[in-house]
Structure 1
Amino acid sequence: MTDADTKLRGRRILVIEDDYLLAQVLIDFLEEAGAEIVGPIGWVEEALAAIDNGEINVDAAVLDVNLHGAKSYPIADALAERSVPFVFATGYGSDALDASYLDHPRCEKPFDQSMLVALLNDILSKKCTAGMRT
């Protein structure tokens, strides 16, 4: 097993994606990097209910911007309120994100496994560093 195979070892990653085949590719990529997957969840309401009910205990999330025609910003806000870092996933360019969400990392579809894993590692390391500050 290489270092790339274990970069996310021990990390619980929430997958929010409405396309079944893309969700499966994403899950395979993340599991190859050692992550434990929560989901996938494909609907805004379902994700919000799981987050609000405390059913979701994760280190980070990959969040599709468009879920069955609805923007996933309420999910992004709910995750941010709980200090859960996330990466937006989109098939569109940066102009597809509302201006208030441009500071969050995004990964364009089709997914590049190494880029996605690197983005997740980056946001997770920033969370750990921020958590150590007093």
Structure 2
Amino acid sequence: MSIPGFLYGTFDGNDLAIMQAAFDRITAETWFTSQADQREKFARLIVGMYARGLVIPDRLESVCRALARKQFSRDPLSALSGKRILLVEDEYLIARDAEEQLRELGVEVVGPVANVGDALRIVDTDDEPLDGALLDIAINGQTVYPVAAFLAMRQIPFAFVTGYEQRQVPAFYRSIPTFRKPCDWGMMASAVSST
């Protein structure tokens, strides 16, 4: 499936390449439906957004991804609704974006927490149990590994979110799901809450 061929002549090759790239990346997501008619509808949605002036590739993909998650998802991540997920992230804009995405999916976000000490206190003293945690590896000059160890002791599933390469994660933690920034926070929370 691809962007409809009848568009040749309406858009130039660069336009089509931008739309096709957004289509390919979004439809490659595991949550995206495999139904051919839905994929065709999504291709037309991308074309419509582009024709309305949403031509910056990152913005086009971001908006279309959000719409696709609501309209073309084989599983709308409804299993996340009501889950309590600890979010440890020290970069304000990333934390705000993550919190917003998770709340849209019905997640009860604990945090965001911007330092290791506060994260440890939450895991240790929180009256309601956590269903999972998303941990940025580098937090204000410290690593989050003490929090990861504490979560593991309490058998609370977690994932790392980082700008680091996988090989920079200590061998002991390489079996833990690790996601590179920028990332889809809903998919990460889903991976954590399903373990």
Which TM bucket (shorter chain)?
A: 0.7 to 0.9
Which of these residues, 91, 96, 106, is aligned with residue 24 of structure 1?
96
| CA distance in structure 2 between the partners assigned to 1:81 and 1:36 by the alignment | 22
Q: TM-score, normalised by structure 1?
A: 0.82
Amino acid at match of 1:123: V
User: Which segment is superposed worse, 84-93 or 5-14?
Assistant: 5-14
Q: Looking at CA atoms only, which structure, 1 or 2, has the larger radius of gyration?
A: 2
How many positions carry a matched residue from both structures?
123
CA distance in 2, matches of 1:67, 1:73: 10
Relative to structure 1, is the Cα distance of residues 69 and 121 closer, same or farther in structure 2, using a 3 angstrom cutoff?
same
Distance 1:107 1:50 in 2: 23
Q: In structure 1, what is the Cα distance between the partners aligned to 2:141 and 2:151?
A: 20
Counterpart position of 2:30: none
Choose which of 112, 125, 131 in structure 1 pairs with 2:194.
125
Identity of aligned residues (%): 37
Worse-matched range after superposition: 28-37 or 17-26: 28-37
Closer/same/farther in 2, CA of residues 106 and 31 from structure 1, 3 Å limit: same
Query: Normalized per residue, which structure has more strand?
Result: 1
Partner of 1:74: 146
Does 2:173 align with 1:101? yes
- For structure 1, list consecutive stretches of 5 or more residues without a partner in the other structure: 127-134
Question: For residues 109-132 of structure 1, what are the alpha-carbon distances to aligned partners after superposition, in whole Å with 9 as ceiling and x for unaligned?
Answer: 112x2xx43343233233xxxxxx
Secondary structure of 2:135 counterpart: strand
- Which structure has more RCO (C-alpha within 8 Å, separation ≥ 6)? 1
Q: What one-letter code is carried by the residue in structure 2 that aligns with 1:70?
A: Q
Q: Per-residue displacement from partner, 1:47-82 (whole Å, max 9, x unpaired)?
A: 112222345631001000000111100000011111
Q: Structure 2 length normalisation: TM-score?
A: 0.58
Runs of at least 4 residues of structure 1 off by over 4 A? none
CA displacement, residues 73-110 of structure 1 (integer Å, 9 cap, x when unaligned): 00000111111101100012102211111000011111
The answer on whether the counterparts of 1:7 and 1:117 sit within 8 Å (CA) in structure 2 is: no
- Partners of 2:186 and 2:161 lie apart in 1 by 13
Query: In structure 2, do the counterparts of structure 1 residues 5 and 53 end up closer, same or farther at CA, with 3 Å as the change threshold?
Result: closer
Q: Does 1:53 align with 2:53?
A: no
Unaligned runs of 5+ in 2: 1-69
CA RMSD, Structure 1 to Structure 2 (Å)? 1.8
